[in-house]
Structure 1
Amino acid sequence: MPGTREGRDLRLLPRPTPPILSPTLSQDARPVTKPKILFRCDASVTIGTGHVMRCLTLADELSGRGAECVFVSAAGTEKLVPALPYPVLPPDKLPYGAALAVIDHYGLDAAYEALVRSQTSAVMAIDDLPNRRHHCDLLLDQTHGRVPEEYRGLVPVTCITLAGAGYALLRPQFASAREDSLARRDGELKRLLVTLGGTDPDDMTGRVLDSVAAAGLDLAVDVVMGAKAPHLDLVRARATAMANTRVLVGVSDMAGLMTQADLAIGAAGTTTWERCCLGLPTLMLVIADNQKDIARLVIQSGAALSATPDTITGQLRDLAADPKALQSLSHCAAALCDGRGAARIADALLRLPSLKELRS
């Protein structure tokens, strides 16, 4: 879920009719040499960067197979995701005639998908809760434990539904680091990773650091935040007052940080699957309503412990004294996700006639 990148659930916010429901569709007269794939997703301080980051992972996979990828995103998205390596168009300039449009947006409904479908060859929708209708050819829900039957009646009967953490959209670096990361899980608690979203508008990171400091353990602490996080300076001040604690901004090697960490404190968003792929035990916080389902399933699987700022101090002390508990969390996490979801999704997309030119 989108998500470091975790953010608040748009379903909880007022939903004015987006001005993008009637985009100006412009025809491109140039000969098409590659299948064009559009990604309709946004990033903001409110919703975080998770939607864009998981679309970016899929775009990289499809680009490597011969697709031409274009992002269609609201103003401000590029400021939060400055390294976006694809063209970015405003939402009212949706190109005409694409082979596929990927829509990852809680604020856009089946009516918008139908509009886009009338001007493109196929539509793929990404969602995290089976509680609304979609007009799409393929639907992805990467929630652990989700099954296609949960979307019956919510998608067209011809829709291909990909469900479960086996389809989690992770960058290739996580699958590459998986073996080394799993090999070092010895149950010792020496290094802690705190990552609660790229924006963290409610300063949950600051509250968590107060709880970590209160535990009184000899830990190295890495805190990951986005450059546009509104409370970044406050978090840096807290970290300065703590021993062996650093704040990292604009991290490019998250897989490396997770591999070196013995425990994470994180939200139940898109980074959940990154941690699971690397067998990283987690104290899991729910910071948005749409994360409750993911948190419940992951915690029930034994891959994480439910946490709040008030419980973290005691949980850290308990885990530091119980190496077997940390190892158990690691084993359960690694069983949920192997990091190869993007390739599986790309293989499924080859079943769409408009994408038959992609390399398998």
Structure 2
Amino acid sequence: MNIAIRADASAAIGLGHLKRCLSLAQALRAQGAAVTLAWREIDLDCAPLIEAAGVSSVRIAAGRVSGELIDVRDFLAAVPAAERIVVDHYALGERWHRVARGHSDAKLAAIDDIADRELAVDWLIDPNFSADPAAKFAGLIGPDTQLLAGPHYALLAPAYAAAPRCVVHEAVRSIGIFMGGTDAANASLLALRALRGRLGFRGAIEIATTSGNPNLAALREAAACDT
């Protein structure tokens, strides 16, 4: 089966959409599907990250999404043989979905956790916890949309399956800071300063980020000065 996934990453968007879609793509490939991830080149080169995951990559255009109809046109031209389409993008909604369905006959799935627009899909995946997922998406999805909601549907990388399980200690001995793959607002540095200055924490602190972080140099300097 040919499956096409639509997701983007940038300094402002972060890497979350892309990373969880790569986890999904790896799982689908393990089941024998042919998967292509289609993305727009904004300000990050996503190709190395996608290829490192063993997933086929196709750039559909440059720049941010300027309109759903333009984006879906470029997408369909890049992946004309898709039998299933997965969309993980806050800028794309019902109009995009209906055009994609009408021109490809593919079944569609959306990954969404903010519930701020209508979605015309066969499956909706929301990995966030919600006391009432049906109420969260009421009026935004049709009666035939299958809702897959809750942490049970979290799209985690295969490495987590064999990762050591967390052991909770009463005393806090170390703290990890992760504010996303890009952290354009540099919240990592704010958290570090708050832990050291306002809270007086003197244990080990580790900051996790990526080369896509525009504040990487400042973070490295802060980490080098941290004692």
TM range (shorter): 0.7 to 0.9
Deviation at 1:80, TM superposition (A): 4.7
Deviations 1:314-338 (A, max 9, x none): xxxxxxxxxxxxxxxxxxxxxxxxx
2:139 corresponds to 1:139: no
Q: TM-score, normalised by structure 2?
A: 0.83
Label 1:46 to 1:81 Cα distance change in 2 as closer, same or farther (>3 A).
farther
Please give the per-residue CA displacement for 1:324-358, whole angstroms capped at 9, x wherever unaligned: xxxxxxxxxxxxxxxxxxxxxxxxxxxxxxxxxxx
**Separation in 1 of the partners of 2:43 and 2:94?**
23
Matches of 1:139 and 1:96, distance apart in 2: 22
Q: Distance in 1 between matches of 2:3 and 2:217?
A: 38
Where does residue 209 of structure 1 map in the other structure? 192
Assess if the C-alpha contact under 8 Å between 2:47 and 2:57 holds in 1. no
Report if the CA contact (8 A) 2:94-2:119 is conserved: yes
Give every structure 1 segment of 4 or more consecutive aligned residues whose post-TM-superposition deviation is greater than 3 Å. 215-218
- When normalised by structure 1's length, the TM-score is 0.54
Q: CA deviation at 1:110?
A: 0.7
- Aligned equivalent of 1:105: 89
Higher-RCO chain (CA-CA 8 Å, sequence separation at least 6): 1
Distance 1:199 1:128 in 2: 20
Letter of the aligned partner of 1:232 in structure 2?
L
Partner secondary structure for residue 41 of structure 2: coil
2-side partners of 1:185 and 1:81: how far apart? 37
Aligned to 2:26: 60
For 1:133 and 1:127, the matched residues in 2 are separated by: 11
Closer/same/farther in 2, CA of residues 219 and 80 from structure 1, 3 Å limit: farther
What CA distance in whole angstroms lies between the structure 2 residues aligned with 1:73 and 1:174? 25
Q: Which residue of 1 aligns with 2:208?
A: 224
**Distance in 2 separating the partners of 1:128 and 1:65:** 26
Determine helix, strand or coil for the equivalent of 1:205.
helix
Question: Which residue in the other structure is 2:176 paired with?
Answer: 193
Q: Once the 2 structures are TM-superposed, how far is the Cα of residue 36 of structure 1 from its aligned partner?
A: 0.7
In structure 1, what is the equivalent of residue 9 of structure 2?
Answer: 43
SS state at 1:221 partner: strand
Give the superposition deviation at 1:173: 2.5
Q: Aligned pairs, how many?
A: 206
Question: Following superposition of structure 1 onto structure 2, how do residues 131-280 of structure 1 map, counting pairs within 5 Å?
Answer: 131-145=116-130, 146-177=132-163, 180-182=164-166, 184-214=167-197, 215-243=199-227
User: Aligned with 2:124: secondary structure?
Assistant: strand
Q: Which has the higher strand share?
A: 2
Letter of the 1:171 partner, please give it: A
* Amino acid in structure 1 at the alignment position of 2:125: L
SS at match of 1:156: coil
Unaligned runs of at least 5 residues, structure 1: 1-34, 244-360
CA distance in structure 2 between the aligned counterparts of 1:105 and 1:98, rounded to whole angstroms: 18
Task: Please tell me whether the aligned partners of residues 196 and 202 of structure 2 are also in contact (alpha carbons under 8 angstroms).
Answer: no
CA distance in 2, matches of 1:77, 1:171: 24
1:84 equivalent in structure 2: 50
Structure 1 vs Structure 2 CA RMSD: 1.9
How far apart are residue 134 of structure 1 and its match? 0.9
Structure 2, unmatched stretches of 5+, are 61-73
Counterpart CA distance in 1 for 2:43 and 2:16 is 11
Using the aligned pairs only, state the percent identity.
Answer: 28
Flag the 1:111–1:53 CA change in 2: closer, same or farther, 3 A: same
Distance across 1 between alignment mates of 2:143 and 2:218: 51
Instruction: Measure, in 1, the Cα distance between the counterparts of 2:216 and 2:189.
Output: 9
Any idea what SS the aligned residue of 1:112 has?
helix
Q: Deviations over 1:243-290 (max 9, x none)?
A: 2xxxxxxxxxxxxxxxxxxxxxxxxxxxxxxxxxxxxxxxxxxxxxxx
